[in-house]
Structure 1
């Protein structure tokens, strides 16, 4: 599929990043709590800003970087988004645009499952591989991720050095 990526934890300590946390709901008929709902609305607004040609102040916050597409394996993924810094909530928000054109449709519909590995991701646990439980992802999304991953990680590293207590939110 292309070159493998190696991550140096000396350069960026990804082990301190928490994996996604999803709130537990004991009674599904109740739905999500108000805070979760408000956050879903908030981050949906961030993601909608990624469709703009330029979003200089996402949700009124600091634009850290505009992420544009690069070529990967002679395939232009058209992956786009931005990184915003919310100093009030102490968050770094990575917002991605969704499917908008034929190129992104082709990438998004590449649904063969492959092992989840790439820049910034922890190494695969051999015990998971032995149990055939290794994390897998659609190849199209992995290729799209890999085309912008190093750019995003470099920008995040600089922001986390300046703001070590900030959490990272990914939406889109």
Structure 2
């Protein structure tokens, strides 16, 4: 099962620019104004595609050709893969995780029991629990990421963490781990995820919302993508998303049909109640965000 790739987010800061005023979409829904630059969307697609190659010295050469230093991260035991980029112009350390691609990734996806949050010497507050498989996937590379980020996160640099699908869940876990371990100032970590599945329970969502801040999280859901609705919420498994959902509520997303949802809980007026949801990860809305399909590498120097 090949679900899709990771998203490198050094260019994500201009993807969504919500304002206080509202507009009305063609379907009558009131939505905040959300600026979506087409050139940025193309860059995101190229960055996502570049994550499929084993080594991409400069993902998306139109953006990161001389400004970024790349470090690959991977763990054979869990299948976790990604990279770290240092963007000196934007003063950002970017950590990106690949989405599900291998059978090992799929195995991690279905280990959906909720377990206590424990990463190295970092433990969550009482009652915080997360998806067992996602936690194992993050633990496989957590030490490496922590060491590299600790070295480069200085001189006013901010941390951007991103991923798609499984990669989005890992990005969430990485964000709160690094926030707690490195004592990063408020606003010093931003998380951008696409098609992220539910990652933890209610207390986990509350913890992440509090310490990362809902204004610093962009959890994008494309139309009727089914993966953000998994694992299912049950009486035993009280999964809940953290903030903040940005929902593209038509098959052809644009500024006029992308809605910024409520920052706490799962907004009933966004993707949650969609009647089209089906648990099928091969659906186009999960494989292609903003109409741009991932899979092709865009690297200045490609090594396979």
For the residues of structure 2 that align with 1:90 and 1:113, how far apart are their CA atoms?
36
How far 1:51 sits from its partner (Å)? 1.6
Higher helix share: 1
Report what 1:138 is aligned to: 131
Aligned to 1:165: 156
Give, in whole Å, the separation in 2 of the partners of 1:66 and 1:112: 29
Distance 1:119 1:25 in 2: 41
Shift of 1:156: 0.6
Secondary structure of the 2:124 match is coil
User: How many angstroms does 1:49 deviate by?
Assistant: 2.5
1:105 corresponding residue in structure 2: 106
Q: Higher relative contact order at CA 8 Å, sep ≥6: structure 1 or structure 2? A: 1
Q: Secondary structure at the match of 1:58?
A: coil
Residues 50-129 of structure 1: matches in 2 within 5 Å? 50-59=51-60, 60=64, 61-70=67-76, 76-119=77-120, 121=122, 123-125=123-125, 129=126
What TM-score, normalized by structure 1, do the two folds share?
Answer: 0.65
Quick check: 145-154 or 29-38, which moved more? 29-38
Give the Cα separation in 2 of the matches to 1:32 and 1:151. Answer: 39
Structure 2 unpaired stretches of 5+: 1-17, 23-28, 164-304
Q: 1:97-146 deviations in whole A, cap 9, x for unaligned? A: 1111111110122111112221475x433xxx2xx4x2x22111100000
Task: For residue 64 of structure 1, report the CA deviation from its aligned partner.
Answer: 3.4
DSSP 3-state at the match of 2:55:
coil
Separation in structure 1 between the aligned mates of residue 100 and residue 158 of structure 2, nearest angstrom:
26
Aligned residues: 135
| d(CA) in 2 for partners of 1:118, 1:24 | 37
Contact residue 19 and residue 34 of structure 2 kept, 8 A: no
Q: How does 1:15-34 map to 2 (within 5 A)?
A: 29-30=30-31, 33-34=34-35
* Counterparts of 2:19 and 2:78, CA distance in 1: 35
The 8 Å contact of residues 112 and 138 in structure 1, kept in 2 or not, is answered as: yes
Instruction: For residue 50 of structure 1, report the CA deviation from its aligned partner.
Output: 2.1
**In 2, Cα distance between equivalents of 1:52 and 1:32:** 36
For residue 93 of structure 2, give the secondary structure of its aligned residue in structure 1: strand
Q: CA deviation at 1:154?
A: 0.5
Q: Compared with structure 1, are the counterparts of its residues 89 and 31 closer, same or farther at alpha carbon in structure 2 (3 Å cutoff)?
A: same
Please tell me whether the aligned partners of residues 120 and 153 of structure 1 are also in contact (alpha carbons under 8 angstroms).
no
1:46, 1:114 → 2: CA distance?
Answer: 32
